[in-house]
Chains A and B, each alone.
Chain A
Amino acid sequence: MNELAIDVSGLVKRFNNKAVVRGVDLQMPRGQVWGFLGPNGSGKTTTIRMICGLLEPSAGEGRCLGFDIRRQARKIKDATGYMTQKFSFWEDLTIRENLEFVARLYNLSGRKKLVDTTLDKLGLTERQGQLSGALSGGWKQRLALAAVTMHKPDLLLLDEPTAGVDPQARRDFWDEIHQLSNQGMTVLVSTHYMDEAERCDQIVYLAHGNILTQGKVDDVIEKAGLITFQGKGHNVRLLAEQLKGVSGVEHVAFFGAALHVSGRDRVSLEKAIAAFANDDVNWQEIQASLEDTFISLMQDAGKDTREHG
Chain B
Amino acid sequence: MKLFASLGRVYAIMAKELVQMRRDRMTFAMMLALPIIQLILFGFAINTDPKSLPTAVYAEDNSPVVRRILSAFEQSGYYQLLRRADSPQQGSDWLAKGEVSFVIHIPEGFTRRLIRGEHPQLLVEADASDPAAASNAISQAREIVNQALGTELKGPLQYLRSPPPQVDVVVHKRYNPEGITQYNIVPGLLGVILTMTCVMITSMAMTRESERGNLENLLAMPTRPHEMMLGKICPYILVGLVQTLVILSAAKYLFDVPFFGSLGLLLAGVMVFIFANLCLGFTFSTVARSQMQAMQMTFFFFLPSILLSGFMFPFRGMPVWAQSIGEVLPLTHFLRMVRGVMLKGNGMPELQQEFLALTLFILVVGTVAILRYRRTLD
Residues in chain A within 8 A of chain B (CB atoms) = 49, 52-56, 73-74, 77-78, 80, 82, 84, 86-93, 97, 100-102, 104-107
Contact = CB atoms under 8 A, between A and B. Distances in A.
A102 B220 contact: no
Contact of B376 (A56, A80, A105): A56
12 contacts: A52-B220, A55-B377, A55-B378, A73-B376, A80-B220, A84-B216, A84-B220, A91-B212, A93-B20, A101-B15, A104-B11, A105-B221
B19 A104 contact: no
A224 to B, nearest CB: 34
Contacts of B24: 92
Nearest to B24: A92
Given A52-B220, A89-B214, A91-B212, A73 B15 contact: no
Interface string B198-233: 000000000000001111110111111000000000
**In terms of DSSP, what is the predominant structure of the interface of chain B?**
helix
A77 B15 contact: no
Contact of B20 (A54, A84, A90): A90
Contacts of B12: 101, 104-105
Contact of A77 (B5, B11, B23, B220): B220
B16 A90 contact: yes
Nearest to A100: B15
A105 B9 contact: yes
B377 A86 contact: no
B214 A106 contact: no
B130 to A, nearest CB: 48
Contact of A101 (B4, B16, B213): B16
A107 B3 CA distance: 12
A56 B378 contact: yes
B5 A107 contact: yes
A120 to B, nearest CB: 22
B376 A107 contact: no
Most chain A CB within 10 A, of B4, B5, B8, B222, is at B222
Given A93-B19, A97-B16, A106-B222, A86 B213 contact: yes
B375 interface: yes
A88 B15 contact: no
A49 B375 CA distance: 12
- Which 3 residue pairs spanning A and B have beta carbons closest together? A104-B12, A88-B217, A77-B222
B16 A54 contact: no
Contacts of A100: 15
Contacts of A92: 20, 23-24
B28 to A, nearest CB: 12
Given A92-B24, A101-B12, A106 B221 contact: yes
B217 A89 contact: yes
Given A54-B220, A84-B217, A101-B16, 13 more contacts: A55-B377, A82-B220, A89-B214, A90-B20, A92-B20, A92-B24, A93-B16, A93-B20, A93-B23, A101-B15, A105-B8, A105-B221, A107-B5
A74 B224 CA distance: 8
A93 B217 CA distance: 14
A109 to B, nearest CB: 10
A54 B11 CA distance: 23
A96 B160 CA distance: 90
Contact of A107 (B8, B16, B20): B8
A112 to B, nearest CB: 14
Contacts of B219: 54
Nearest to B223: A105
Most chain B CB within 10 A, of A54, A78, A80, is at A54
Interface in B12-41: 12-13, 15-16, 19-20, 23-24
Nearest to A84: B216
A91 B212 CA distance: 9
A203 to B, nearest CB: 24
A178 to B, nearest CB: 23
Given A53-B376, A97-B16, A78 B222 contact: yes
A74 B220 contact: no
A264 to B, nearest CB: 40
